[in-house]
Amino acid sequence: MNARLASSAASLGVDVDPRDAAILVVESGAPIGRELVEQLCADRYLAVLARTAEHARALALAQPIRAIVLGALDTPRDALDLLDEVRRPTIRQPPGRPVWDERLPAILLSPGATQLDLLRAFEMGADDFIAHPAPYLELRARLKAVLRRAENLTSTRLLRVGPLEIDTGARLVRIAGAPVALCRLEYELLVHLARNPTGVCSKQELLRAIWNQRAGAGARTVDSHASRLRRKLDAAGAGGLVVNVWGVGYRLI
């Protein structure tokens, strides 16, 4: 970690209670960011504002983060870079704890979003994508949805399908007792399939359940995550566990 990031959260103006989990709003435009935080707080969410990626990292170190809402930074690419950093947490705080939890629910706000922007955001791990400015009530509804999905995945129930075992409380995946490292969306995809072990999950169903989209993200989003999931399971000795049902979706054998 660089010296500036290693400085204390207090030196960056962080004033938070480390016992509470917050909604982290990342937005360079101070009026927009403050308004969103005030609206969330009025709805009884604990929300904090970061105006830079560096400040966002400091806040993530200062207290637990429940979800992240990524708005505008210096350039549209900066928000995607921060999302990529969250999903592949390599920046660490001494003595080695990652700054980010890669399972953190993330909503991306972007003005003038195109279908290509939408696809890129979901492929990089966004849970939802909203064209900005968006009505606050829409954002609140989508935030509730991603938080509910995240909370549903904290059940302590074990899921077992053949050699596969998923501890949804600890978010651990094992094949024949050996752990398998998955990114957050790969994990959620596998859990959804494991909870429907006798049926085929259509791509539209998976988009609704995991990406909160009835349309827009597209089948390529599901296919790319399913392909990476299958490669990891194959390498762990569970070849052929995830089956592509041509023209429909996916199932577990």
One-letter-per-residue 3-state SS of the chain: CCHHHHCCHHHHCCCCCCCCCEEEEECCCHHHHHHHHHHHHHCCCCEEEECCHHHHHHHHHHCCEEEEEECCCCCHHHHHHHHHHHHCCCCEECCCEECCCCCCCEEEEECCCCHHHHHHHHHCCCCEEEECCCCHHHHHHHHHHHHHHHHHCCCCCEEEECCEEEECCCCEEEECCEEECCCHHHHHHHHHHHCCCCCCEEHHHHHHHHHCCCCCCCHHHHHHHHHHHHHHHHHCCCCCCEEEECCCEEEEC
Express each pLDDT in 74-123 by its tens digit: 776 788 889 988 887 665 554 455 788 877 899 998 876 677 777 888 88
Confidence of residue 124 (pLDDT cuts 50, 70, 90): confident
19 vs 102: which has the higher pLDDT: 102
pLDDT of residue 155: 53
Domain with CATH 3.40.50.2300 in the chain: 3-152
Confidence of residue 125 (pLDDT cuts 50, 70, 90): confident
Average pLDDT over all residues of the chain: 81
CATH classification (class only), 3-152 = alpha beta
Residue 30 has pLDDT above 50, yes or no: yes
Architecture of domain 158-252: Orthogonal Bundle (1.10)
Express each pLDDT in 48-67 by its tens digit: 999 999 999 999 888 889 99
Residue 18 has pLDDT above 60, yes or no: no
pLDDT of residue 96: 53
Average pLDDT over residues 6-19: 41
Domain with CATH 1.10.10.10 in the chain: 158-252
pLDDT of residue 223: 92
pLDDT of residue 216: 54
Backbone angles phi, psi at 164, to 5 degrees: -85, 135
Express each pLDDT in 148-203 by its tens digit: 887 766 555 688 888 899 988 778 899 988 899 998 889 999 999 998 877 899 99
Share of the chain above pLDDT 70, in %: 83
pLDDT of residue 150: 78
40 vs 103: which has the higher pLDDT: 40
